[in-house]
Amino acid sequence: MSWINENFLKLQESYLFSTIAKKVERFTKEHPDQKVIKLGIGDVTKPIVPACVEAMHKAVEEVGTKEGFRGYGPEQGYGFLRKAIVENDYKARGIEIEEEEVFISDGAKCDCGNIVDIFAPNNKVAITDPVYPVYLDTNIMSGREIMYLPVTAENNFVPALPKEKVDMIYLCFPNNPTGTVLSKEELKKWVDYAKENQSIILYDSAYEAFITEREIPHSIYEIEGAKEVAIEFRSYSKTAGFTGIRCAYVVVPKALKGYTKTGKKVSLNQLWNRRTCTKFNGVSYIVQRAAEAIYTKEGKKQIQESIKAYLENAKIMKDGLEEAGFTVYGGVNSPYVWLKVPNGMSSWEFFDQFLEEVNIVGTPGSGFGKQGEGYFRLTAFATKENTIEAMKRIKSKKANWKL
Ligand code: PLP
């Protein structure tokens, strides 16, 4: 008999994106003459920048030679990329991270999902609501108790510290789906809470490259003492268009400790290293060379241009929606705009109306958690032309929403 992990049966079916696809397909069939603009996707649309393409070509040529051939690489990632990360993402911001604290992976999604391996199932986990679903589902799969931290307009999208003790805390800023950020002062409160309660913060900063306001922290390690309480996830997916290429990294500081049942302290860096060596054989050499190229002068300039273009789209959306009378959050330090659904409509009712009346696809906020009900997410990853066109349509029909 093979017994299953029954925790999987506790997962809610996720119909969000398939329901959206079906609704859009039906609409397109019924209205073949209408141009539907998709502002729902969370995937980038700009091609890989030339610096990365060149680096990949070079690496391909290299592995095709006797001298340059590479087989299995280090499970934790090649030294050249770990060094580039330490220098550029941390040292340049005044943060000391050691190369051995950086683990290269094939995605922040896998990292966020896999990290739970090194934590006991009896840890109590705090997760913001609405949320990027990976944190929630992976903890349900391993049977942990979840506490939800609402992030809504009522608390200005700043999660309140839990009244009771929690052991693991997921924070994601700039946030997906709300597009909002946390100030250094707010983030410090969480670091202090984690220190006081011997909790671990799992900090997802996959969107840090979109931060435009100077005072907003890019890394949790900008907060003093955070290396003792936080693991940080980063990704090249949105930063450099690597959603298909696949490369990310996680920082597990050596100062970070977990506890055995008997209260003995254990290095989480060592546990994560052990897990990585056992279950992972590293990211391909070619991809890691592409990631390294992001940190060259040319690479930095080129990816900045793409990010700038997405942020311009976000601004076009934010301004356009506000002009039309909507209440809008995010979109300043993020490619996501989170709008308040008007007139007490549900997120799905609004989805249908938006598709019907302005032929625009967004994502119903309720798909990201209970507290997302009454909100709607739009993304800045479409073309500028389509973004402008979408706002024109919304403004021309603004009377429809009685704003
Ligand atoms: N974290 C957040 C908050 C995300 O929104 C995403 C992707 O949408 C990821 C992580 C996943 O990143 P990756 O493509 O590196 O797996």
C-alpha span between 194 and 201 (Å, rounded): 7
Going across the sheet that includes 328-330, the strands are 328-330, 336-340, 375-379, 363-364
Question: SS3 for 54?
Answer: helix
Question: Which residue has a Cα nearest atom 5 of ligand 1?
Answer: 176
Would you state the structure tokens that stand for residue 52, as one six-digit string?
């990365």
Q: What are the b/e assignments for 204-242, b being 16+ CB within 10 Å?
A: bbbbbbbbeeeebbbbbbbbeebbebbbbbbbbbbbbbb
Residue 18 scores a pLDDT above 90: no
Cβ of residue 237 lying under 6 Å from some atom of ligand 1 = yes
Tracing tokens 């979408």 back to the chain, one arrives at: 390
- Helix, strand, coil shares, percent, the chain, to 5: 45, 15, 40
CB–CB of 58/293 below 8 Å?
no
Pairs from 257-265 (Cβ < 8 Å, separation ≥ 24): 257/228, 258/118, 258/119, 258/200, 259/198
pLDDT confidence band for 402 (50 / 70 / 90): low
In the block, tokens 């109590």 appear at 124
Model confidence band, residue 224 (pLDDT cutoffs 50, 70, 90): very high
Q: Is the pLDDT of residue 13 over 90?
A: no
For position 42, what pLDDT does the model report? 83
Cβ atoms 339, 321 nearer than 8 A: yes
Any atom of ligand 1 within 6 Å of the Cβ of 144 = no
Q: Which two tokens stand for residue 103?
A: 């683990």
Angle between helices 285-293 and 50-63 (to 10 degrees): 150
Nearest CA to ligand 1 atom 12: 108
Mutation probe of ligand 1 site: the residue of 232, 235, 377 with most atoms within 8 A of C-beta: 235
| Phi, psi values for residue 267, rounded to 5° | -70, 125
- Find the 248 Cα to ligand 1 centroid distance in Å: 9
Per-residue model confidence as pLDDT tens digits over 309-342: 999 999 999 999 999 999 999 999 999 999 999 9
Closest ligand 1 atom to the C-alpha of 43? 8
- Residue 292's pLDDT band, with cuts at 50, 70 and 90, is very high
pTM for this prediction:
0.96
Contact 191, 223 (CB under 8 A): yes
How much is the average pLDDT of 40-55? 94
Residues 6+ apart with CB under 8 A from 317: 39, 328, 331, 337, 378, 380, 387, 390, 391
Which is more confidently placed, 111 or 12?
A: 111
What percentage of the chain exceeds 70 in pLDDT? 99
Q: Residue 17: what pLDDT? A: 87
Q: Is the pLDDT of residue 35 over 80?
A: yes
Closest residue to atom 2 of ligand 1, CA basis: 206
The pLDDT value given to residue 58 = 98
Dump pLDDT digits (tens) for 127-175: 999 999 999 999 999 999 999 999 999 999 999 999 999 999 999 999 9
- Test site for ligand 1: of 176, 242, 334, 381, most ligand atoms within 8 A of the Cβ: 176
Ligand 1 probe mutation, 170, 233, 237, most atoms within 8 A of CB: 237
175 lines ligand 1 (CB under 6 A): no
Beta pairing partners, 338: 329, 377
Give the distance from CA 285 to its chain's centroid: 24
> How confident is residue 398, by pLDDT bands cut at 50, 70 and 90?
confident
Treating both helix axes as pointing N-terminal to C-terminal, what angle do 384-396 and 347-358 enclose, rounded to 10 degrees?
A: 100
| 87 Cα to the center of ligand 1, angstroms | 23
- Average pLDDT over the chain, rounded to an integer: 96
Is residue 235 over pLDDT 80?
yes
Tell me phi and psi for residue 201, to 5 degrees: -100, 130
CA of 112 to the centre of ligand 1 (A): 9
- Fill in the DSSP letter of residue 34: S
**Is the C-beta atom of 269 inside 6 A of ligand 1?**
no
For a mutational test of ligand 1's pocket, the pick from 110, 114, 132, i.e. the residue with the most ligand atoms closer than 8 A to its C-beta, is 132
How far the first Cα of the chain sits from its last, in Å, is: 60
364 lines ligand 1 (CB under 6 A): no
Nearest to 149 by CA among 160, 163, 164, 137: 160
pLDDT for the residue numbered 403: 64
Ligand 1 pocket, 248 CB below 6 A? yes
With a cut of 90, say whether residue 41 has pLDDT above it: no
CB 191 within 8 A of CB 219: no
Strand locations in 102-174 (E)? 102-105, 124-129, 145-150, 168-172
Among all chains, which residue has been given the structure tokens 């052991």?
Answer: 167
Helix or strand run (H / E) with residue 395: helix 384-396
Q: Which two tokens stand for residue 294?
A: 């992001």
Please state, as a whole number, how many other Cβ atoms lie within 10 Å of the Cβ of residue 174: 27
How far is the C-alpha of 31 from the C-alpha of 255, rounded, in Å? 59
d(CA 340, CA 355): 16
**Mean pLDDT confidence for 279-297:** 98
Q: What is the pLDDT of residues 207-220, one digit of tens each?
A: 999 999 999 999 99
pLDDT digits (tens, 9 = 90+) for 68-126: 999 999 999 999 999 999 999 999 999 999 999 999 999 999 999 999 999 999 999 99
Q: Is 243 in the pocket of ligand 1 (CB under 6 A)?
A: yes
Q: Rounded to the nearest whole angstrom, what is the distance from the C-alpha of residue 235 to the centroid of ligand 1?
A: 7
325 lines ligand 1 (CB under 6 A): no
202 lines ligand 1 (CB under 6 A): no
- DSSP line for 273-289: HHHHHHH-----HHHHH
Does the beta carbon of 176 sit less than 6 angstroms from any atom of ligand 1?
yes
